[in-house]
Each structure stands twice: as structure tokens, then as C-alpha cells.
Amino acid sequence: MRVGYVVGVGLVGVMGGLVGAALAPQLGIGVNPEAEVVEELNVKRINIVEDNGNRALVLANSMKLPGSRIDGQESGPRTGVPGIIFYNNLGDEIGGLIYPARTVEGTYDGGVQLSMDQIKQTGQAIALRHWRSGGYVRSVLEITDYSTEKFAGDADSDPDVAAVLARMDAAVDDEEADRIYFYEYLPMLGEKGYLAHRIFLGSEGAEDRRAMLEIKDSGSRPRIRLIVDEQDDARIELLDQDGNVVESLGGRVEPA
């Protein structure tokens, strides 16, 4: 297993010495007085590995962060994304912390995400995200249910799912594509038992932003919303499977 730019076992030993020295008093263990201590390190990637060679953790710059890894198979590198990737004892990626950013047409696009994956799945079961894209800002906690029987990465090869994706790709505009995605594609993933987005908690918008808790059904369809909107009006909404509000409490009250 390569360690980027020849960091090697020596650096792992240094890191172990630094961590051990910091934690030894709390753990009640001794510190090796001969362990090397350094003031500063400049590296492009660090691999922390298990005794069997499996990764336990990778810290890397935006050109060296590895791709998603499961069952020994790894996707292409996450070029342009610096961060930290966590691996479990099976050698699979199990979450991470990433924080990419760039300038686009004189403004900014970027943020930070902490994610926790379900074992033997590719997506985030729990994700904490903050993102700015120009004047739009989104800060959210999202929770997704994943199957313990089906691998979500296989969903797009399912003929029924693939047909919906083809229609989404052929959509005449973004509005139609969004409708297919939210009201056909995601519900189908739930019906077939791959995954379901269940909870969204966050704030989003430009200078005026709304705060919202959205609880969804097994087809990723919003069924309950608690909202304080951009005008600071508060309301609770119950929705049907087609996204229609069937009951509402609160909202703006017009003067008599």
C-alpha cells in the first residue's frame, strides 16, 4: 500500500509517538522516552494502517484523497477534495470529513461535510453539511435509511430504476428532472428496498433563509414539515404521498 510522497512507516511511528504522548496520562500507560518528537511536519498524505495493512485512516490534500472503498474495490480519487477518510476493521470506508472550496465567477463555492456510513453501503447514513454556493447557503443534518440486504450501489443497474433515470436525463428542463427525481426515482428506491431519505433538519436560502425539519416516509417523500420561512412565519404541514399539503397549522394570518 503506497503512502503518498514517501511518508512511510517512520512518519506513522512519529504520529504514534505524538498521539501516545498526548493520551498516555488519560489511559494510564507509560510513554516511550525514546519515541521521536518533532515540532512540525509538511506532508501531502498520511495513511494510518492496521497490522494487516488495511487502512484505518487517511489524511490527504486535495490531490491525494482516495476514492470510496468497499470489499477491496476503490473508485477513482476525489480530486479537488481535501479531507480525512475513516475505515473500519473490514477495510471499508465508513465515513469521513471533507472540506473542498473554490472560487467561481468572483464568488465562492464550498463547505464542509462530516459523514457516517452504514457498514457495506456506499452512502451516508448520517451527514452533517454546511455549504455556500454564491449567495446561497445551506446548513443541514440529514439521515438516510439503507437496506441491510441490498447494496445501494446496485440500484441504478436495476432495469426499472434505469428506465426512470433515462427519462430524467431526457427531461426538457430542470423542473421536470426534479419532479422525476423526487416523485419517481427516490420513491422507487424506497419501494425496492435500497434506501430512503428520512430526516432533513437545517436552514437554507440566500440572505433570508428558512429553517425546517422535514420527516419523510419510506419512499423519501416529505410527510411532516415544521417551518419558519424567509418571512419569519411559522407553520406545521402534513403532506400526502404526492407532496400536497393536506393539513396546515400556522402561517401568515391576514388582518381582518
* pLDDT (0 to 100) of residue 34: 82
* pLDDT (0 to 100) of residue 30: 62
Q: Which residues contact 232 (CB under 8 A, 6 or more apart)?
A: none
* pLDDT (0 to 100) of residue 11: 40
Q: Are residues 196 and 215 in the same domain?
A: yes
* pLDDT (0 to 100) of residue 76: 84
Q: Are residues 109 and 210 in the same domain?
A: yes
Q: pTM for the whole thing?
A: 0.81
Q: How far apart are CA 139 and CA 144, in angstroms?
A: 17
**Cα 64 to the chain's mean position, in Å?**
19
Single out the residue of 243, 240, 242, 212 nearest to residue 228, CA to CA: 212
Q: Are residues 88 and 111 in the same domain?
A: no
Residues 112, 180 contacting (CB under 8 angstroms):
no
Q: Are residues 223 and 210 in the same domain?
A: yes
* pLDDT (0 to 100) of residue 77: 85
Structural domain ending residue among the three candidates 67, 94, 121: 94
* pLDDT (0 to 100) of residue 19: 46
Q: Are residues 73 and 172 in the same domain?
A: no
Q: Measured between alpha carbons, how far is residue 225 from residues 17, 135, 200 in Å?
A: 50, 25, 9
- Domain count within the chain: 2
Structural domain ending residue among the three candidates 48, 72, 94: 94
Q: Are residues 134 and 7 in the same domain?
A: no
* pLDDT (0 to 100) of residue 197: 98
What residues make up the domain containing 181? 99-256
Q: How far apart are CA 70 and CA 91, in angstroms?
A: 7
Q: Are residues 249 and 162 in the same domain?
A: yes
* pLDDT (0 to 100) of residue 252: 64
Q: Are residues 81 and 119 in the same domain?
A: no
* pLDDT (0 to 100) of residue 9: 36
Residue with cell 441504478: 156
Q: How far apart are CA 226 and CA 202, in angstroms?
A: 11
Residues 214, 200 contacting (CB under 8 angstroms):
yes
Q: Measured between alpha carbons, how far is residue 234 from residues 12, 30, 106 in Å?
A: 53, 57, 35
Structural domain ending residue among the three candidates 94, 126, 158: 94
Beta-strand relationship, 195-205 and 101-104: unpaired
Q: Are residues 85 and 55 in the same domain?
A: yes
Q: Are residues 8 and 65 in the same domain?
A: yes
Q: Are residues 119 and 211 in the same domain?
A: yes
Q: Are residues 107 and 172 in the same domain?
A: yes
The tens-digit pLDDT sequence of the chain (256 residues) is 333 333 333 444 444 444 444 445 554 556 677 888 899 999 999 999 999 999 999 999 999 999 999 998 998 889 999 999 999 999 999 999 999 999 998 999 999 999 999 999 988 999 999 999 999 999 999 999 999 999 999 999 999 999 999 999 999 999 999 999 999 999 999 999 999 999 999 999 999 999 999 999 999 999 999 999 999 999 999 999 999 999 999 976 555 4
